Copies of this chain bind each other. A is one copy, B any other.
């Protein structure tokens, strides 16, 4: 049986989660894939870091050359986040003929085009499904199943933290700042929540969605962004009385040949499928000429633990 060797970069919560899944599900995947998927190497700058699992024979190193220089590594999974050194590592991995899996939306929203060009040139794959919508297979759908139809619009709730805050504001009638503080305490919002509540995280995802849906090249700078920090208790109450929900939406449209990508709080009629997406759930709504309306719904972040969400 063929063996496919994997390296995981970064042993944060996400990286450890991936490593544990690779170890735990080896037998299941062997049946599914007809080959052995083996976690062979780990990159972690603190290479004496205590891990949540027994790494057994798996080599752990703080030196990137140990990984990129190993011709037996076929797939590199990047979970470090941030722009550098992730960009250099991914680019060098692709250059040396390794497939790469990443959920690094900051990087993809800024340098996606460049990295995809390298992957194409080298004939390897750059997978990034989890960068938008977590477990929801929206990016594959946009790249494969839904490509037969000219798409008109993609809109979605793509940030779990803001949807959690808005859901609680709607249910409890509380103030934004009080609920944000509580969300931070409960682990639904980060200590520095700016990227989520100001809509930047959703903006990055809007760039990725627009790029795929309209076969274009949209970066974060092209996206109009407004967060949820100005939403008040009163806004929520008035919206509710008029039959609307307030949701932070990423909106991508093609209008007369021009692509429009926006993120802002939006009034949605309560009968709209996106209006009933609650708590940290994500959902993406796609409208096509022939397919009509399709919605994909699921957990945005990793399901491992609520208090350690990382994918936004």
Give me the interface of A with B, judged by CB distance under 8 Å: 21, 25, 28-29, 31-32, 129, 135-137, 140-141, 144-148, 150, 215, 271, 273, 276, 278, 288, 290-299, 303
Shortest C-beta distance, A285 to chain B (Å), equals: 9
A294 contacts across to B, CB distance below 8 A: 135-137, 296-299
Task: Provide a sorted-by-A list of 9 A–B residue pairs whose CB atoms are within 8 angstroms.
Answer: A21-B290, A135-B288, A137-B145, A140-B140, A140-B145, A273-B297, A291-B298, A292-B303, A294-B298
Closest B residue to A133 by CB, please name it.
B294
* A296 and B293 form a contact (CB under 8 A): no
Known: A273-B276, A276-B273. A295 touches B292 (CB 8 A): no
**Considering residues A25, A278, A297, A299, which has the most beta carbons from chain B within 10 angstroms of its beta carbon?**
A297
A-B residue pairs, 4 tightest by C-beta: A137-B145, A294-B298, A135-B291, A292-B303
**Considering residues A28, A141, A144, A148, which has the most beta carbons from chain B within 10 angstroms of its beta carbon?**
A148
A144 contacts across to B, CB distance below 8 A: 137, 140, 144
CA distance A299 to B294 in the complex (A): 7
CA distance A78 to B215 in the complex (A): 30
* B296 and A296 form a contact (CB under 8 A): yes
Known: A294-B296, A295-B296, A296-B295. A141 touches B150 (CB 8 A): no
* B25 and A292 form a contact (CB under 8 A): no
CA distance A271 to B171 in the complex (A): 13
Closest B residue to A33 by CB, please name it.
B147
Known: A291-B135, A292-B135, A292-B303. A148 touches B297 (CB 8 A): no
CA distance A293 to B296 in the complex (A): 11
Across the interface, A32 reaches (CB within 8 A) one of B25, B29, B147, B298, namely B147
